């Protein structure tokens, strides 16, 4: 029996600019209790103080599940990163979201995937927080680089998944 070397850590970058929020503070029990995996969240804000409308890939990989409000990217070593834009935004039925990729597309970290309107989401009475999850990951295997309250820009490293 040969020991397999551990896969290299997956570097997760911020898909949106804004303020890092602890998952425990996300107004959705599934995310807050890390039921689907560990991660963090970002309240979208642009450098000019408005909301950030561009959503980028947090990792290199292949687009798996893709909805206007959420997507999953599978990395080459078969780890899946989920990004969910806002809470309960599925009820908007795609209104205010524009997809720039399709399921099955190869993407690179930092690639523009979705344009959305967080202000419209907020006007509909929904949270605009963007959740980034190491789907089915173990909490001990995810090292958060960004901390709650920290401002991040799209493309900044926010976590490493070992």
The per-residue pLDDT for range 101-133, each reduced to its tens digit, is 999 999 999 999 999 999 999 999 999 999 999
Specify the pLDDT at position 52. 76
Among residues 69, 84, 100, 112, which one is catalytic?
Answer: 84
List b or e across 23-56, with b for residues whose CB sees 16 or more CB atoms inside 10 angstroms. beebebeebeebebbbbbbbbbbbeeeebbbbbb
Domains detected in the chain: 19-161 (2.70.70.10)
Residue pair 161/9 in contact by the 8 Å Cβ criterion? yes
Kindly state the DSSP code that residue 39 receives in the 8-state scheme: E
Specify the pLDDT at position 153. 96
Measured distance CA(152)–CA(105) in Å, rounded: 26
Measured distance CA(4)–CA(120) in Å, rounded: 48
Q: Does the pLDDT of residue 5 top 80, yes or no?
A: no
Catalytic status, residue 100 = no
Measured distance CA(101)–CA(66) in Å, rounded: 9
Q: Which two tokens stand for residue 99?
A: 């997809």
């Amino acid at each position: 029996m040969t020991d397999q070397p551990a896969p290299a850590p997956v570097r997760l970058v911020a898909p949106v600019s804004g303020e890092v929020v602890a998952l425990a503070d996300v107004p959705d029990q599934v995310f807050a209790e890390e039921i689907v995996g560990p991660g963090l969240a970002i309240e979208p804000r642009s450098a000019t103080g408005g909301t950030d409308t561009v959503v980028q890939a947090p990792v290199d990989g292949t687009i798996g599940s893709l909805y206007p409000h959420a997507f999953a990217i599978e990395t080459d070593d078969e780890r899946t990163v989920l990004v969910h834009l806002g809470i309960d935004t599925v009820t908007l039925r795609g209104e205010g979201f524009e997809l720039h990729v399709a399921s099955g597309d190869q993407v690179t970290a930092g690639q523009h995937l979705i344009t959305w309107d967080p202000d419209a989401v907020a006007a509909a009475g929904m949270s605009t927080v963007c959740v980034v999850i190491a789907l089915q990951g173990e909490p001990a295997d995810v090292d958060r680089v960004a901390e709650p309250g920290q401002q991040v820009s799209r493309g900044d490293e926010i976590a490493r998944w070992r």
